[in-house]
A and B are shown apart, each in its own frame.
Chain A
Amino acid sequence: MESIITPSLRAGRSVISYSFDVLIAVAALTVFSYVQYGLRPVLVVLIAIASAVISETVCCLLCRRRITLGDGTAFVTGGLIGVLMSPIVPIYVPIIASAFAIVIAKMPFGGSGRNIFNPAAAGVALVTVCFERSMSAFPNPSQNVRLWWDTSEVLYQNSVAATLKSGGTSFETFTDLLFGSTPGAIGTTTVLVLVACLLYLRFRRTVSTAGFIAYMLTCTALALLFPRAEGDYWRSVMLELFSGTLLFTGVFFLNDPTTTPHHTGGRVAFGILLGGMVMLLRHFGQYADGACFAVLLLNPLAPIIDRWTWQLHRFVEMRWIRRE
């Protein structure tokens, strides 16, 4: 079987293996959500994937191009959109988000490997703006209902990030955050599974450790400097880092091979900028969690950051060689 290799990935890595790794991580997150809420999260994720796949097929057919489903990036986009939805989101929301991601944010730029903006982040940003209420209503995890189609009997609750934003008191302990018994989107609450995904993707060489560490350190520093939660500083850091889509962004969006820098130095710079932007939007943005907006704002800078780090690298190398 021929493997599709794009210049945006390191030599020898095919797009298929990247897509496959991310889909495994998405599946793990979905399974954990299934254990907690029932079948509805699985339904939401599958519908988001189906919408992305259908949109990409239709786009390819309309442009009379070879159908590019084989590289699996459409599945990844759909999967990432699916796990960023609330388990009780109306079904049309993931459909619109995935269709927007493919039709507006990916295909007009030339499809897989050429998109400037992360399609999944674009889709989520659109529905965050358009369906604010659906995107910020989460089921109470202690309610212990099995969700399927009908969601009328669910008790709504704000996410931890929204509580932080509104300045309310949150009582979540570290264990709650670790095992995901907090209100939030399908794939973002369970810190333990997210860390497992991170380690798996690191093991498969999809994640850049330097960029991730830079991102998390920036967020930690800003959470320490400007605490929003009551209690001691470390509680504020814990709530900031493990609530909302902050950690999810670090694991998935920060390591998208197409829309982030390729050099290690560039990835560190991108991570620092992204961490700063995420915390800035949390403090001053309109929404509880602006991670997808931060990703979209910084995606176009990725090639510039790459060029600058390359020039810096060349400069240092030249000086070093001359000294020898």
Chain B
Amino acid sequence: MNKPTASHSGWKLTTIFFDTALRNNLVLVQAIGVCPIIMAGADLKSGVALALCTLITLLPLSLLMSLIGKKVANWLQPVLYTGVAALLLVGTAIVLDKWVSTALYAKLHLFIPLMAVNTIVSYRVGGFSIGNRPAAAVMDALAAAFGFGLVIAIVSAIRELVSTNTIWNIPVGISLPLPEAAQPFAAFILLGMMAAGLQWLTHRRKESDDEVELLTADNGEEGTENA
């Protein structure tokens, strides 16, 4: 299996997407961006809203930094992408408050500005986009938002289902609310379980890959012996 290299320049776009979104999932493997999931990911609406905020921030920012990142001094890069992220998030917050849902904004008003200094932004934009070609940067931003969104959607859906027995504010028919599921510890346990599950899947894949490699290696040896 390919080891991630420093430049990622030779990677295919699909490999980048698969690697960032699933195999090296932001939250479950690299443990970044955990805070919004634990504090705000208590119902599906907030979760999806935060995932969209991540997408809205990351996509233009990655493109911008992959285009002009190399021309900016090293010390100025974090200032630049944090500032642009903050500007984008201010716009998002105003749109959310004025035209989408004031109640949702009231719930998330603390966490949307915090996304600007989130490790997702600094890690993906600062660590990947600068020095990669624009297509790869855009694909990486999409993958990061997708990976983060997938995790926060699963966690927030489960927490909403258990704590209030609704999904997307629609009752599901059972009535056994456990309000403790909205507390942070429940999210930590869920994330831990999901991280363990992902590790298990990766290991199983790796084992099957290794078996294939072993088989081919065996065949090769046999071939040389016969020769």
Contact = CB atoms under 8 A, between A and B. Distances in A.
B189 A104 contact: yes
Interface in B181-206: 183, 185, 189, 192-193, 196
Interface string A121-152: 00000100110000000000000000000000
A130 B180 contact: yes
A228 B183 CA distance: 30
Contact of A108 (B180, B183, B185, B196): B196
A104 B191 CA distance: 12
B180 A129 contact: yes
B117 interface: no
B196 A130 contact: no
A108 B189 CA distance: 11
A200 B180 CA distance: 39
A232 to B, nearest CB: 39
Interface residues of B, number: 8
Of the listed residues B178, B180, B192, B193, the one surrounded by the most CB atoms of chain A closer than 10 A to its CB is B180
Contacts of B185: 126, 129
Contacts, number: 10
Contacts of A130: 178, 180
A50 B99 CA distance: 55
Interface string A48-64: 00000000000000000
Contacts of A129: 180, 183, 185
Contacts of B193: 108
A165 to B, nearest CB: 21
A108 B199 CA distance: 13
Interface string A98-132: 00000010001000000000000000001001100
Contacts of A108: 192-193, 196
Nearest to B179: A130
Contacts of B180: 129-130
A104 B186 CA distance: 11
A129 B193 CA distance: 20
Nearest to B189: A104
Contacts of B192: 108
A95 B138 CA distance: 50
Contacts of B178: 130
A182 to B, nearest CB: 29
A129 B182 CA distance: 12
Nearest to A100: B189
A130 B182 CA distance: 11
A274 B182 CA distance: 28
A289 to B, nearest CB: 18
Contacts of A104: 189
A129 to B, nearest CB: 6
Interface in B140-199: 178, 180, 183, 185, 189, 192-193, 196
A104 B190 CA distance: 10
Interface in A68-109: 104, 108
B38 to A, nearest CB: 15
B176 to A, nearest CB: 12
Nearest to A130: B180
B91 to A, nearest CB: 38
Contacts of B183: 129
A278 to B, nearest CB: 19
A128 to B, nearest CB: 11
10 contacts: A104-B189, A108-B192, A108-B193, A108-B196, A126-B185, A129-B180, A129-B183, A129-B185, A130-B178, A130-B180
Interface of B: 178, 180, 183, 185, 189, 192-193, 196
Given A108-B192, A108-B196, A129-B183, 7 more contacts: A104-B189, A108-B193, A126-B185, A129-B180, A129-B185, A130-B178, A130-B180
Give the 6 A-B residue pairs with the shortest CB-CB distance, closest first.
A130-B180, A104-B189, A129-B180, A108-B196, A129-B183, A129-B185
